[in-house]
Structure 1
Amino acid sequence: MTAAKVISGAEHFFLPGNSIGILICHGFNGTPQSVRYLGENFAARGFTVFAPRLAGHGTDENEMETSHYRDWIQDVEAAYAELKKTCTNVFAIGQSMGGALVLDLATKVACDGILTINAALKVPEYEKYRNQSVPRFIPEGKPDIKAENVIEIAYDRVPTKAVNQLLDIMQHTGTRLQRITCPLMLFHSPDDHVVPDRCSHQIYETVMSDDKEMISLDNSYHVASLDHDKDYIIEQTHRFIQKHTKQANSAPLTSLII
C-alpha cells in the first residue's frame, strides 16, 4: 500500500545547530507546522531543532485511522535518538498530546529537561467516544487559538479509532508520571477549551522532579505555539535551557535509562 502524500507545509523539519538539541512534538491532529515558529526561533538562537511528524498526521484521515499510539511513541523516541547522535544535551517540548508523549519519553531516557504546552491527560469532548467505533469519523471544529487569522494545518475530521489511541496514550502517560525526575517546565493556558487546565497541575503535583515550574499563558488558548504567547514561550524556554545546560555541564554526563 502506497503511503499517503504529506500535505505541503506539514513536513517534519530538522534545523542543525550547536550541541544543544531541542525535540518539538506537535499534538493530536496537528503537524510540525504548528510548532515551526518555535523551532525556527530556537534555531536562530543556535540550537539544533528536530520536529518529527507523527504517524498518520499531515497526510489524510485514512492513514491516521491505521495509526497506533505506540507508533507515536516510537516517532518521538527515534527523534530523540537522532538528536543524541550530534547533541550533548537534549530537551524535549510537547504540545497537547505531544506533551503526553515527551513525558512518556522522560520515563525512558535521561532528558536534560522536559517542557510541555497544555499537556493533555484528558480531553473531555472525546470521552464519549471511548471504546466506540461509530461514527467512523468525528468532525473537528476550528483550532482553539485566541489570535485571529491564524492557520493550523489539521484534518477537518478525525477517525474515532485515532481518538481512542489518543485516549490510550493519555491514560498510559498518566500512570507513569511518578517515574519522571528530570527538570520540568509546564506551560498552561487557564483559558483552554480543549484540555482542562487541571491536567498541567496534576502533572506538576505528581512528577518526582525536584526542579519544576508552572508558567501561565494568560493570552492564549489551547494551541499556544501559534497564539499570542508564542514569543513568551520561546523566552522562558531559552531561560530554562540555559539554566539546565549549565547544570548538566558542571556534572557528570548521564546515560540512557534502560
Structure 2
Amino acid sequence: MAIKSFFFEKGPQAVILMHAYSSTPNDVRMLGRALEKENYTVYAPLFRGHGTMEPEDILDASPKDWIEDAKEAIHFLQEKGYEEIAVFGLSLGGIIASKMVVDKEPILAGGTFCSPVIDFHKNNNVREEFLTFVRILKKKSGYSETDIANRMPEVERKLDNQLNEISELTQSMKAHYNEVTQPIFIAQAGQDEMIDPQVAVAFKEALTQASVVDFHWYENSKHAVTVGVDRKALQEDVSNFLKQLDWNGG
C-alpha cells in the first residue's frame, strides 16, 4: 500500500515536516503528532517518487521535483489560510527546507535534522545504504538474485547521477547561507551512520546573519533522530524553538 502525505490540522501556526531520502513522512510522524498536541497545524508532504515498493521511482524524480513539492506544500498551507509557516526536514528533507530559506520563500523559520546541507559527498554512506535498500525491496517483491544483479548497474548509474544533482544543489546553496536572516534550528545525531556529523557544525558556523541559530547535539542518536532514542528531547527542543518565534509579529 502506497504511503501518503499527512496533514494534522489544529492551531493557527503551521509547520511543514519533510522526510529523508528513500523514506516517507512516517519518519516525521511522531514529531508531527507531538507538535499537533502543542496546537500546531502540521503538514508532511510526500516527495515525488517516494512511498512506493519500486525504489527506481525515487531515481526517476529529481531534486527540482522535490523543491517543487516543498513550494507546493507552502502554497497548500497558504491556500488554507496559514500565513506564517516554519519548515523543517530530516536529511534530504533538511536540504529542501534550507533551499526554501535560501530562496526566500514566505516562511518564518527553517530547520534541519541530520542533514548534509554542506559537503554532501563528504563521509557519506547514502549510496551504499540506498543500494542495500533496493536489494531488500526487490527481494521482497519476488525478484530472483539474478534479476536483481542484472538490474543493479542501471540503478547505480541513475543513483550516481541523482546524488551528484543533490551535491550540486547543496554547493549552490552554500554560498547563500551567510545571507539567511531567519531563525534556524539544527539537530545532529552524534552516532550518525549516514552522514558526517560535523556538517551540522559547519552549517551553524555558515549562518552568520541568522537572527537565531538553535543548535542541538544528540550524542546517542543515529541518523533517523526523529524516531531514535532522543526523539522526545528533539520534540521538546523543536517545540521550544517554535514557541520563541515571532508568529504574526507578536
**TM band (smaller chain):** 0.7 to 0.9
Aligned pairs, how many?
Answer: 223
RMSD of equivalent CA atoms = 2.7
Change (3 A) 1:218 1:125: closer
* Residue 5 (structure 2) aligned to one of 12, 31, 39: 12
Matched, 1:224 2:216: no
CA distance in 2, matches of 1:25, 1:110: 17
Q: Report 1:152-163 matches (<5 A).
A: 159-160=158-159, 161-163=161-163
CA distance in 2, matches of 1:127, 1:37: 25
Matched, 1:32 2:25: yes
CA distance in 1, matches of 2:9, 2:126: 43
Q: Report 1:53-132 matches (<5 A).
A: 53-59=46-52, 60-85=54-79, 86-107=81-102, 108-121=104-117, 122-124=120-122
CA contact (8 A) 1:101 1:173 kept: no
Identical counterparts, % of pairs: 19
Change (3 A) 1:94 1:223: same
CA contact (8 A) 1:124 1:195 kept: yes
CA distance in 1, matches of 2:243, 2:125: 39
Task: Give 1:126 deviation, angstroms.
Answer: 5.7
Partner residue of 1:255?
none
Q: Mind listing any 5+ residue stretches in structure 2 that lack a counterpart?
A: 135-151
Change (3 A) 1:26 1:128: closer
CA distance in 2, matches of 1:189, 1:138: 20
Partner residue of 1:189?
189
CA contact (8 A) 2:190 2:220 kept: no
CA contact (8 A) 2:19 2:25 kept: yes
The ranges of structure 1 where at least 4 consecutive aligned residues each deviate by more than 6 angstroms after the TM superposition are none
Q: Deviations over 1:16-65 (max 9, x none)?
A: 11110000001111110111111122112211111011111112222222
CA contact (8 A) 1:99 1:117 kept: yes
The structure that is helix-richer by fraction is 2
